[in-house]
A and B are shown apart, each in its own frame.
Chain A
Amino acid sequence: DAKTTQPPSMDCAEGRAANLPCNHSTISGNEYVYWYRQIHSQGPQYIIHGLKNNETNEMASLIITEDRKSSTLILPHATLRDTAVYYCIVRVGGGTSYGKLTFGQGTILTVHP
């Protein structure tokens, strides 16, 4: 699976959009971009994933650049409850290792009042 690079920490004001970047310059054509988050030692929580098109769900939006070498997770209206470690993960969507998630260090997002 491709390696990802994320900033170690970011701040965001409550009610504003939080834009979390991720670089994955070695991504392969069959690799998906996934985002998970972990709130204070709880189990990681799935947020969103995509292959090459931008995606949106009730939690967030995922913007993937055209060359797929980077992506941005957008939390449109951050709340204090969004304070967490956010992990960007790149992995193959199938095959024998499809289930394995390789977590890096992630980005600590702090939402402040």
Chain B
Amino acid sequence: EAQVTQNPRYLITVTGKKLTVTCSQNMNHEYMSWYRQDPGLGLRQIYYSMNVEVTDKGDVPEGYKVSRKEKRNFPLILESPSPNQTSLYFCASSLAHSTSYEQYFGPGTRLTVT
């Protein structure tokens, strides 16, 4: 089954404790992206990757890091989480050269930073 998976689905952590949210897709997609969703602000893009070893900032990259060492994986790293990073996070992927640019989204990771 074609899918984007994220782990963990729920996470409660404390300020300053480094964490990684994993994202994996099994569709051989070149493009992957991270979004965060906050009430009243909608979904905002954090980082994206056009292919392996190619990443770039989205609209709200501060406080986040990403890496793309393998095509299927695109982890989101919070090196020193703060309470304002409490949010619902989504990973997405798509083909890079498709006219439809349909993006597949993961189920989401709900992060709480205390």
CB neighbours (8 Å) of A105 from chain B are 42
Q: Is the CB of B45 within 8 A of A101?
A: yes
B106 interface neighbour in A43, A49, A103, A106, Cβ under 8 Å:
A43
B31 nearest in chain A by CB position: A99
Nearest Cβ on chain B to A50's Cβ, whole angstroms: 10
In the complex, how many angstroms separate the beta carbon of A24 from the nearest chain B beta carbon? 16
Question: In the complex the two chains form, is B90's CB within 8 Å of A43's CB?
Answer: yes
Q: Does B103 sit at the interface, judged by CB under 8 A?
A: yes
> Smallest CB–CB gap between A108 and chain B, Å?
13
Partner pick for B105 among A34, A43, A102, CB 8 A cutoff: A43
Q: Is the CB–CB distance between A42 and B108 below 8 Å?
A: yes
User: How would residues 24 to 45 of chain A score, 1 for a CB under 8 Å from any chain B CB and 0 otherwise?
Assistant: 0000000010100000011111
* B42 near A43: Cβ-Cβ < 8 Å: no
Residues on B with C-beta less than 8 A from A91 are: 101
| Complex: chain A residue closest to B90, CB-CB | A43
A44 to B36, CA, bound (A): 12
A residues near B (Cβ < 8 Å) are 32, 34, 41-46, 49, 91, 93, 98-106
- Which 8 interchain pairs have the tightest Cβ spacing? A43-B105, A103-B43, A46-B102, A103-B42, A99-B31, A44-B105, A43-B90, A43-B106
Contacts A100-B33, A102-B45 supplied; 20 other A-B pairs, CB < 8 Å: A34-B101, A41-B108, A43-B90, A43-B92, A43-B105, A43-B107, A44-B105, A45-B105, A46-B102, A46-B103, A49-B101, A91-B101, A93-B101, A100-B58, A101-B35, A101-B45, A101-B92, A103-B43, A103-B44, A104-B42
